[in-house]
Structure 1
Amino acid sequence: MTFFKFLSRPAALWLAALYCLPGAVAAQGAEGPAFGLIVGYRDGANELSREETDRGPWADGRERAQAVWQRAAQRSRERTQQLATDTGVKVKSVGEAGRSALMRFERVLKGAELEDAMRRVRLHPDVAWVEPDVLLKRQQTKEPNDSIYLSSQWHLKTSGPGAAAAMNLPAGWFRTTGSNVVVAVVDSGILAHPDLPIGLPRLLPGYDFVDDDVYANDGSRRDNDPTDPGDWVSQADKTSDSARFGSCDVADSSWHGTFIAGQIAALTDQPSAQGVAGINWAARILPVRVAGKCGAFLSDLVDGVRWAAGLPVTDVPTNNFPARVINLSFGGSASCSSTPLYQQMVDDVTNANALLVVAGGNNDGPVTRPADCVGVMAVGAVRRDGAKAWYSSFGSQITLSAPGGSNLDSPAVDHLIRSTDNPGLTTAISYTGMSDLNAYGYKQGTSFSAPQAAGVASLMLDINPHLTPAALIDRMKKAARPWSSVTPGVLTACGPAGAEACRCTDATCGAGLLDAAASVQLATGPAAIITPIGTVTPGTAITLNGLASVALTGSSIATHQWTQVSGPTVAITNASTAVAGASLPSSPATYVFRLTVTDDFLPTARTGSDTVTVVAAYPVTSGGGGGSTSVFWGLALWAWVLAVCWQQRRTRRLT
């Protein structure tokens, strides 16, 4: 006779609970108020699932089945009543919910009381799962009161006839309207617009990275003032200083950064019902100015993106508010592979746990940097009916597409993107007494499809802050509405450069149309987090470390599974554990490994995955060109060669 036999059943259950691991007893997160519990019994303990033979004089099969069910239900109720007694849960009555048992509370429970009742029932050895019996409401949405949202922001609303590309924000907002996730706008700076947050905590202290006082147009070089002074270029500029402005287009000030900041985080659902709605109603905006007259220097852009992620930049104060999402709507005409600079920037900010969202480009042709860099979320632009916008670049590097507007459709104001703006042609005009007609503008471009994705990513991070950049990209791609779900007026499939408006495919416009509601829904569940590896010497034995992976509150990680995605095939040791390993061949190559984690959420477990890239390569040595090298450099090189040889021999002995 065991010790437990000397205890009452309730006492035995409570003592057993002390020995249970947290992952074994984690219950489904309770949403109150609950009127009872629905209980699933383990196999063999559920009378309602057993097959029985009945030989009674019944008129037909239905009457026989009813009689069998009635007897099984009675036994199930007796078991459930005993379960309530054993666990100390006070019930008014017991019954059935389908083929599961139902415990009706004496009074409505919520919060800690409900969680406690669920935990006690879940600990019973006969119970497989438990969930609260709550009122299910009809599918709801949440829409803000902003006047321009109601009249003009078609792209944020529920998709349907006339707006197939709309992003379904109302259903997403029903789950979350956002939180204080930091989103960096790396752009032309920002204005103090009445529909944008003012000061802390929502408008963070940014920085001006424009390092040329002429192009900066504010009389100074780098400083801590990211205000946009205007980026106009006049014919006089071109005439008087052709060396600097000869290749620039004559243009009015764009107020580009202010427009994008409003898309992401305009003041929303305020008592004044003013202006436009932002995607994240509580996001913190980090303004990072990198562009002045005629555009942005590459060096300023790279420093600004790095600083936005919290990485150090020489002679610039530390950024105390690292961004989780960085929006970059500037790009060049070269490919990412032409030099290491862009890819290094992307790798650095990604390893700093910041998602870099970039504009796909407006060249109606192949994608260029940074949109073709590995690890970015490159966003293409579609028009209202879901066709590729006439200007949008396209290709396999596009992650997904979002509304970017199209001025070729009539009336244009019903097909463009509207956000915070300024009517000043050069310097900004005061907003005091200004009407909405002038304080808000219309624009088009992938510059304005990218912030749609950045805003949705910030909503996902509110639900699950553990999501890595790769996990955000993966889940947003899975949530995207497939191209087959829209039938745009343009029926010609996107093909070579110059296709203009065309019918999108996965190969040309990404995984589909950005869907905010589905993306936010997929943010739930565990997050696979892998320790970065980077570049190693060929022949190295690597460690695949997923110990940092986490589940949402109330659940635990139940399983880990490592697989190889690409590269020469290698054997993965301990592939079903959090920490696995692999021995790489001695030849240079690039490998990608995936970790999939599953939680213990009931009744249906949830999964999350992420990948890690490992580059096996020898260090590159410079050659040719003259110049002197010291004897110490030569000795160091030979020492390195000998070390590599020794490592390879050692690896061969071990394998």
Structure 2
Amino acid sequence: MLKFIAAALLAVPLLAPAQTSQEPVRNLIVRLKPQAESTASTREAPQAARERLRSVANAAGVGFEDERTVGRHHQLLRMPAAQSGAQLEATVRRLRLNPDVLDVEPDVRVRRLAVPSDPDYVRQWHLQAPTTYAAAMNMPAAWDVTTGSGSVVVAVLDVGVRLNHPDLAGRLVAGYDFVSEVEYSNDGDGRDADPNDPGDWVSESDKRSPLFSTCDTEASSWHGTFIAGQIAAATNNGLGVAGIDWQAKVLPVRIAGKCGALLSDLLDGMRWAAGLSVAGAPANATPARVLNLSFGGDAACSPSYQDVIDEITDAGALLVVAAGNEAGAVARPADCNGVLAVGAVQEDGRKTAYSNYGARVGISAPGGTQTRPIYSLDNNGITTPGVDTYGEKLGTSFSSPQAAGVAALMLAVNPALTPAQLVVRMQDAARPHVAVAGALRCSTNGTVPCNCDTSTCGAGLLDGAQAVLAAGSSLVPRAVAAPVTTVPAGNAVALNGNGSTASTGASIVAYRWAQVSGPATASIANPSAANTTATLPVAGSYVFSLTVTDNAGQRDVARLAATASANGSGGDGGGGGGGASGWWWGAGLWALALLAWRRRAA
């Protein structure tokens, strides 16, 4: 089965070698430095930013056909032809050398996370009380409290959804198709209002085309339909399977076709799903509070990814993501700040042999094994759609929707919960990891089923019933971070959590400030103090979190946005991209020219 594969160019020092993409790339995602006169309230006009991008491309000798915005700060530069290897590496270098550029990354294709499995007769063991299976999610007790709310929307960002599957009747709202390239779309067109899944197969004849030469040959996955069924299959209808949330609506957002998703399509789909505007797409009438993304990459979180995650978090949406299936460390988006990364455990509570693990995993949920997979909606078409039916799969792709469905139930109980509060309450309600006698610890070997702890597999085992109870509980502290004003780059802002309160009869025993995102690493004077400061080294938007813990072990989280304005000279470096001055840019271009001459001479 296709593993997730996605290269990304991270912020690197001047003239450092770029990471080479393994497949042709036609688009580049570019972030320009903020202009000296731009602030959070007076951002550069889109047309002016496009003109600057064109000027940068021309100066670097990079041809382009078109450009558009991606999120708040990034722009997509479409080149006349696809590039790969050394050619792409040189193009990225030339752009990065420009003093107006903060970062550049290829618009790579992102692959879905799924591992095929053989059929098994055991169905939906993962929803049961944890009596027979230690990893089961305890959903019957959760449903005694709530079966959900029709006002909660969960987005499934995937290959599309079989809209006419009988077990999704009445459960879907109008979605959108963000697959921009016709060659990969399989539906004959680009972006439109039809998120139906036409199939994502790759045949042997496809692989003979340069477009698909790096793809794996495989049948259609019906990946998004399976996930939509896990979250919200129609329940008590005498048909098929039960969903985790019996009332919530699913927003199908198609971001991928053959070979996965372009990063720019994925980012636009995330923004639209959360209710943010995307050029060329209609307004989303039913923004989602929870987004499930069972796609991933093999590189660290990039600025464009983090920027969009910050946007959707600020809009009130939680991004739930799969940890990945490489039995190693997580990569983007699971390593981005502000997401809930879900690892996979098998029925006895051990980490599955395939699940990624480590400190970035937030919680673990059932992912299935060959002998006891996850059961949900499917289609029997090998390529194009056949009969809508049911099937069994395994992978962290199918652990993530478990947490997304539980988050939807939590919002039915308490719609006021923020994304960060959903995460901490779900984590605090998790059951402890189990220790199977004779099994290795995951820190010793993660490539076989192994015993988890909180450093390798997150806070514990997802418990739907306890999470729902935690969502409605008033016996938790309240974290409050006082707003701050804009300061010049290099100055400090106040981080003031003195307004936080403990729950009745308790007292706050710990404060913890952390940086969630920003163009560079801020220096927090005393992260464990209620009242401290953070120095913002370069111009840009920063996000901090405040976690408070009371003496009953209960937690709450607040987010705080802070802005550093550019100085008169346009600010200094600011992470990852261009040099600090035109002198360095010119010197870098001369160095590249000299290197090219020597290669020709050789």
If the length of structure 1 is used for normalisation, what is the TM-score?
A: 0.61
Alignment partner of 1:348: what SS? Answer: helix
Question: 1:197-212 counterparts in 2 under 5 A?
Answer: 197-198=168-169, 202-212=171-181
- CA pair 558-395 structure 1, distance change in 2 beyond 3 A: closer
Compare 474-483 and 559-568 and name the one that shifted more: 559-568
- Superposed CA RMSD in Å reads 3.7
Q: 1:343 aligns with which of 306, 317, 336?
A: 306
What are the within-5 Å matches in structure 2 for residues 462-473 of structure 1? 462-473=412-423
CA deviation vs aligned residue, 1:442-479 (integer Å, no higher than 9, x gap) = 00000000000000011011111111111111111111
Q: 3-state DSSP class of the match of 1:508?
A: coil
Q: Provide the C-alpha distance between the structure 2 equivalents of 1:334 and 1:157, rounded to a whole number of angstroms.
A: 36
CA shift for structure 1 position 564 = 4.5
Deviations 1:33-56 (A, max 9, x none): xxxxxxxxxxxxxxxxxxxxxxxx
1:213 Cα deviation from its structure 2 partner = 0.4
Secondary structure of the structure 1 residue equivalent to 2:198: coil
Deviation by residue 1:480-511 (Cα, 9 ceiling, x = unmatched): 1111xx23366101136752211111111111
Same amino acid, percent of matched pairs: 49
Based on CA coordinates, which of the two structures has the bigger radius of gyration? Answer: 1
Equivalent in 259, 282, 288 of residue 253 of structure 2: 288
Contact 1:195 1:266 (C-alpha < 8 Å) held by counterparts:
no
Question: Relative to structure 1, is the Cα distance of residues 492 and 610 closer, same or farther in structure 2, using a 3 angstrom cutoff?
Answer: same
Q: Which residue of structure 1 lines up, in the alignment, with residue 134 of structure 2?
A: 164
Residue in structure 1 matching 2:270, options 301, 305, 312: 305
Unaligned runs of 5+ in 2: 1-118, 515-522, 586-602
Verify the 8 A CA contact 1:563 1:594 in the aligned structure 2: yes
2:424 alignment partner in structure 1: 474
* TM alignment of 1:476-495, pairs within 5 A: 476-483=426-433, 486-488=434-436, 491-495=439-443
When structure 1 is superposed on structure 2, of 497-506 and 351-360 the one drifting more is: 497-506
The residue number in structure 1 matching 2:465 is: 517
When structure 1 is superposed on structure 2, of 588-597 and 493-502 the one drifting more is: 588-597
Contact 1:259-1:419 within 8 A present in 2 as well? yes
In 2, are the aligned partners of 1:377 and 1:398 still within 8 Å (CA)? yes
Out of 143, 156, 178, the residue aligned to residue 173 of structure 1 is 143
CA shift, 1:196, in A, is: 3.4
Q: 1:503 maps to what in 2? A: 451
Q: Secondary structure at the match of 2:398?
A: coil
Q: How far apart, in 2, do the equivalents of 1:365 and 1:164 lie? A: 23
How far apart are the structure 1 equivalents of 2:501 and 2:160? 36
Q: Equivalences for 1:144-159 in 2 at 5 Å?
A: 152-159=123-130
The CA distance in 2 between the partners of 1:626 and 1:611, in whole Å, is 40
Aligned equivalents of 2:454, 2:506: Cα separation in 1: 33
Deviations 1:264-286 (CA, angstroms, capped at 9, x unpaired)? 0000012xx21100000001110
Unaligned runs of 5+ in 1: 1-147, 432-438, 576-580, 599-603, 630-655
Q: In the alignment, what sits opposite 1:326?
A: 291
Report the alpha carbon displacement of residue 318 of structure 1 after superposing the two structures with TM: 1.0
Give 3-state SS (helix, strand or coil) of 1:466's partner: coil
Contact 1:379 1:446 in 2 (8 A): yes
Equivalent residue letter for 1:303? D
2:557 aligns to what? 610
Structure 2 residue matching 1:471: 3-state secondary structure: helix
Structure (1/2) with the larger helix percentage: 1
Q: How far is 1:525 from its partner?
A: 3.1
* Deviation of the 1:583 alpha carbon: 5.1
AA of the residue aligned to 1:172: A
Deviations 1:251-298 (A, max 9, x none): 00000000000000000012xx21100000001110000010011111
CA contact (8 A) 2:506 2:552 kept: no
Q: Sort the Cα spacing of 1:274 and 1:292 in 2 relative to 1 into closer, same or farther, 3 A.
A: same
Task: Report how far residue 628 of structure 1 moved.
Answer: 13
- 1:452 is aligned to 402
Q: 2:144, 2:176 → 1: CA distance?
A: 34
User: Any residues of structure 2 matched to 1:36-55 within 5 Å, and which?
Assistant: none
Kindly provide the amino acid, as one letter, of the partner of residue 249 in structure 2: R
In structure 2, the CA distance between the partners of 1:237 and 1:357, relative to structure 1 (3 Å rule), is: same
1:188–1:256 Cα contact (<8 Å) kept = yes
2 CA distance for matches of 1:535 and 1:362?
Answer: 42
- Report if the CA contact (8 A) 2:481-2:546 is conserved: no
Change (3 A) 1:304 1:571: closer
Q: Secondary structure at the match of 2:251?
A: strand
What is the match of residue 393 of structure 1? 356
1:375 aligned residue: 338
Q: Does 1:253 align with 2:220?
A: yes
Q: TM-score normalised to the size of structure 2?
A: 0.67
| Distance (whole Å) between structure 1 residues aligned to residue 526 and residue 543 of structure 2 | 9
Q: Secondary structure at the match of 1:321?
A: coil
Deviation at 1:584, TM superposition (A): 4.4
Equivalent residue for 2:382, pick from 403, 425, 431: 425
Residue from 162, 172, 184 that aligns with 1:215: 184
User: C-alpha deviations, 1:597-620, integer Å up to 9, x for none?
Assistant: 99xxxxx99976213356686755
Letter in 1 for 2:579: G
Aligned CA distance change for structure 1 residues 204 and 401 (closer, same or farther; 3 Å):
same
2:546 equivalent to 1:594: yes
